[in-house]
Each structure stands twice: as C-alpha cells, then as structure tokens.
Amino acid sequence: MHDIDPVVAGILNRAIDGKDISVEESYELFECSSEEMNALVRVADMLRKRRVGEYISYVVNRNINFTNVCIKRCGFCAFSRDFREEEGYLLPVEEIVRRADEAYRFGASEVCIQAGLMPKMNGMLYIDICRAIKRAIPDIHIHAFSPEEIMYGSLRAGMSIEEYLKALKDAGLGSIPGTAAEILIQEVRDAISPGRIKVKDWIDIIKTAHRLGIPSTSTIMYGHVESSMHKAIHLSTIRDIQRETGGFTEFVPLSFVYREAPMYRYGLVKGLRPGPSRDEVIKMHAIARIMLNNYIPNIQVSWVKEGLDMCKVLLNAGANDLGGTLMNESISTAAGAMNGQMLRPKEIRALIRSIGRIPVQRDTLYRRLKVFNTQEQEQEHQDPLDMVEDPSIFGSYYELIKLDRFKYKRHYP
C-alpha cells in the first residue's frame, strides 16, 4: 500500500489487523480516490474470505407485496398509490396464503411480506396474515413487516410496540426486514421522506424486536442526497445496535433507483443525484464489509437493483450473499429497476460458479441447507423452481389489476 495516501493505508492496515475503524476513518474511505479504491476492494475481499470463506449464499424465497395503497408519500417510492387511484390493489389474506403455499411447493423456505400503509387499516391485519400462513404452511419462515409497518400496525391496534411484536411472534413471525432505514440521519429523512418513521423510532423498534428474539436484516438506501459522512454515521449506528443486540443477520446496501421516483421525476428535492455511481456502489459494499466485519458476517448484494454483472464485481469486493430468488418483486421494479423479478436457483449457482466460489443454499437465519462443493452435486440436484420456464406463472400485480382482480376499490369503494 506504499502508492496510496498514507491516511487511507493506515486505515486499511488497521482493518487488516482486525480493529474497528471509526466514523471519521470510514468517511476517509468513502472519499478515497479510484487508485486507493483498488486497495480498499482488496482489503474488503480479504476480510470477507477470512470471515466467511469462499462460500456465497442465497435463499429460495418469494416476495409478497400485498398492497400498494399507502398513506405516506415518500419521494423515492414509485410503488405506492393513493387509495383513490385506479392502480391501487389489495390482495386478500386468502390470496397471500395461496402465494405463500405456491412458493413453498416450489421450494421456498421463506416468504418476505411488505406493503403500503393502508388508510383505516385493521391493526390486527398483520397478525392475521401471519396466523393464516402458519396455519396453512407451518414450516415456512415468515420474514415480514418493516419497522414502519410495525409502528403503524401497533398504532392501529392500540398496542405498544412490544405488545404488538410479541403478538406477531406468537402468530408465527420469524424475522423482520430492516427496511425503512434509508439513511439513519433525521435531516436526510426529512428531505427525501417527510413524515416517514423517525430515526429514534426505527432504532427502538429494531432493538425491541431483537430483545424479543426476533432477528432482522439491516439496510441503507443511498445515492440520493446523502454525503459520505452520512453513510459513515449510518454504518456506525448499525454497528452500535449490533454490538448491543446481536440481532442483525445481514447488511444490505440498496441503491436509490431513480427513474420513476417522484422526487427525481418532478425535481422535488434539491441536490438529488440520479442514484449512486458505479464507484459509489463498490465503495458502499467494501466499506460495509470493513466497518461491520467484526459484528455482521453477511453483506448482501441486491441483484434486482445492481444487475448480475455488477453482482460479480461486488462479490469480489466484500459481499458474500446474493439474497433471494424473489419470484415476484414490485417495489424496485415500479421505481425503474430493470433486472427482472425472479432468479432461478440454478441461475444463482451459475453466477457464483462463474467467479470461482461455492454456492450455498441457506435459510433466512443463514443456516446452511445445501452446500454445492462440486458441479456434480449441482447436476444431481434439481430445484422445483429450476423447472419453471416462464416466471409469469407467478403473476404480475399490475396484470392482475388490468384483469380487474384484487383492485383496492373493490374492497374499499
């Protein structure tokens, strides 16, 4: 590291020695030059190899975004609709269960459930959804409801956060997505999503879930108006929570998909960037590995947001997980992501093999279900989802709306 800035070299050497780096040191890494970035990537990859070896994991799962009707108007969200809009939809509980059962029959170990915040929602709805899924498919893991949804559900149900989380857990909730985090800096949230859950409330709900034995993911949504220091503080906040609770299963950087985002289309936010640059994306994953390596072993790549070619780069820059098969994906797709809504397990394994690493099918909590040490093992193994030639059999929400099925107005005229 003799050819790079001595400050950056010193930070990277500290990371190699297994020491935590500070917020200020993380900021220096976010600001580093393209020459220094090569060293940053090499160190992140070294730490990844030391922490989790040559394995890259994935989960067979299905996303179920059961309504796009939402009382919030976040500037980055192109998915949500007002309840009066024609494109608004609501999947009844029976349809949510049908989709979960279909996913299970196609080999899914997890359903991921998130949606808009419907006006006048029955506060028990989320609990009823968990109970109905578990009654029909006891073995499936329910990964559902962001801190924003949990706060809204608890308010609608007239329960405390702790009471509500306990009721969800009793109904079968297995873990929660740590989405709605965006950037855990209040001034940034006020710019891109005024009225969104406050930083202190997000942290309180995550910590309460962890204390009750409900693990969660952790995320960041970046590439809009945040600065390098904002990202550094966000990573430090995630690390502090993990030191205290140990409840995060992974960290997932999420690029801002700008194409259809209202705050981009209508110029609503001053200083808005059209998503992160390629270098920003690489730095985000590499610095997340360096900053969190001692506490969160898994750094996940979002193939929906980044695309498969970029995934290969990021899996050599500190990341070790490719997320899920999804089967359906509505939120990023609505915002303009163009990387599809489903990856078959064989496609995920082929990508992993292409960079010389070992595929591992995992469950939500990163327990290994199948390790494919050799290509022969893969050839002998066939997932039900690999047999699906046409992913449209799982149905597009917007096609169903055009067919006049599941329209929100049908339930709430």
Instruction: Indicate whether 169 belongs to any domain.
Output: yes
Residues lower than pLDDT 70 in the chain? 1-2, 74-86, 260, 262, 264-268, 328-340, 395-405, 407-413
Instruction: Indicate whether 258 belongs to any domain.
Output: yes
Find all residues with CB under 8 Å of 23, minimum gap 6, and list them: 229, 232, 233, 236
DSSP string, 84-135: TSTT-BB--HHHHHHHHHHHHHTT-SEEEE-----TT--TTHHHHHHHHHHH
Distance (Å, whole) CA 324 – CA 273:
28
How high is the pLDDT of residue 336?
44
Provide the CA 17 distance to its chain's centre, in angstroms: 30
Number of domains present in the structure of the chain: 1
| pLDDT 10s digits, 70-83 | 887 765 565 556 54
Instruction: Indicate whether 245 belongs to any domain.
Output: yes
Cβ atoms < 10 Å from Cβ of 313: 17
Find all residues with CB under 8 Å of 312, minimum gap 6, and list them: 351, 354, 355
Kind of pairing between the strands at 55-59 and 321-324: parallel
Instruction: Indicate whether 128 belongs to any domain.
Output: no
Instruction: Indicate whether 199 belongs to any domain.
Output: yes
Instruction: Indicate whether 393 belongs to any domain.
Output: no
How high is the pLDDT of residue 337?
45
8 A C-beta contact, residue 107 and residue 145: no
Instruction: Indicate whether 176 belongs to any domain.
Output: yes
Boundaries of domain holding 334:
6-61+143-387
How high is the pLDDT of residue 403?
47
Beginning with the edge strand found earlier in the chain, give each strand of the sheet holding 55-59 in spatial order: 321-324, 55-59, 358-362, 368-371
As a dihedral over the C-alpha atoms of residue 339, residue 341, residue 252, residue 45, rounded to 10 degrees, the angle is -50
Which residue, 311, 297, 191, is CA-closest to 248?
Answer: 297
Say if pTM beats, i.e. exceeds, 0.95. Answer: no
CA atoms in the 13 A half-sphere facing the CB of 223: 26
Instruction: Indicate whether 342 belongs to any domain.
Output: yes
Beginning with the edge strand found earlier in the chain, give each strand of the sheet holding 61-64 in spatial order: 61-64, 110-113, 141-144, 173-175
How high is the pLDDT of residue 342?
82
Start-to-end CA distance of the chain, whole Å, equals 65
Which residue, 26, 36, 27, is CA-closest to 5?
Answer: 36
CATH number, domain of 308, equals: 3.20.20.70
